[in-house]
Amino acid sequence: MGPDLQEDWYTPDSAKVVYNSAAGEYLVVWVSADATPYEREIFGQRIDGATRAEVGENDFQISRMGDDGDDEHEVVAPGVAYHPVDDVYLVAWGAELWTERARLIGEPFDLEFEVFGQYLRGSDAAEMGLDDFRLSDMGPDGFNEFRGWYPAVAFASTPGEFFAV
C-alpha cells in the first residue's frame, strides 16, 4: 500500500486524527502518493491509545478515486470524525476530477472540485456502505467555478449525526 505519512509541497498538514473511545485507539488519515507522482489517495492507520503501537492493517487505503495508476483524480485535505454510539468513522476529502471534456481535449483546467466520503467500521476500520460517495454538489457537471475542496467533518451527539462542511 501507500507509504507512511509524508508531508510534501502539495499536502502540507494533511494528517488528521480522531479518537475512538470504544476501542481506546486513534484513527490517523492522510494524503499519500501512490505509484505515480500525481496519483494521490487517502490512507489510514489505527494507533493504540495506550501503547501508541500500530493496530491492524498497515497504511490501509481509504479512497479509490479511479484505477491504480490513474492520475486524473487528485485528492487533498482529509477530514475524519467518529460516531461513538454506532461505532463508525466518516472520512471525507476533496477531489479534483477531470471532466469528460477535459479528457477528450487534454485541457488540464477543465476540472471539477468536489468532496467525497467513506464510512469505516470503528472496530476494524473496514469500509462500509457505498465506496467513495460524493458529499458535495458544487454546480452542474463540467462546471468548475465552484469548489468543494477542503472538507471538515464532525459528529454531533444531538441529533446523533455527522456534519460535513
Tell whether the torsion through CA atoms of 3, 129, 38 and 165 is positive or negative. negative
Q: Domains in the chain and their CATH numbers?
A: 16-164 (2.120.10.10)
Taking only the tens of pLDDT, the chain with its 165 residues reads 445 555 444 444 579 999 999 999 999 999 886 555 567 889 999 999 999 999 999 999 999 886 666 666 778 889 999 999 999 999 999 887 765 555 565 555 557 788 999 999 999 999 999 888 888 888 776 666 777 778 999 999 888 899 988
CA distances, 88 to each of 4, 22, 63, 66, 115 (Å): 23, 10, 16, 25, 19
Would you give the DSSP letter of residue 102? Answer: H
Q: Which pLDDT score is estimated for 34?
A: 56
Task: Check if the beta carbon of residue 84 is closer than 8 Å to that of residue 101.
Answer: no
Supply the DSSP string of 52-68, one letter for each residue.
Answer: --EEEEEEEE----SST
pTM: 0.83
Residue 1: the pLDDT is: 40
User: Measuring CA to CA, which residue among 6, 29, 8, 140 is closest to residue 94?
Assistant: 29
- Model pLDDT, residue 102: 54
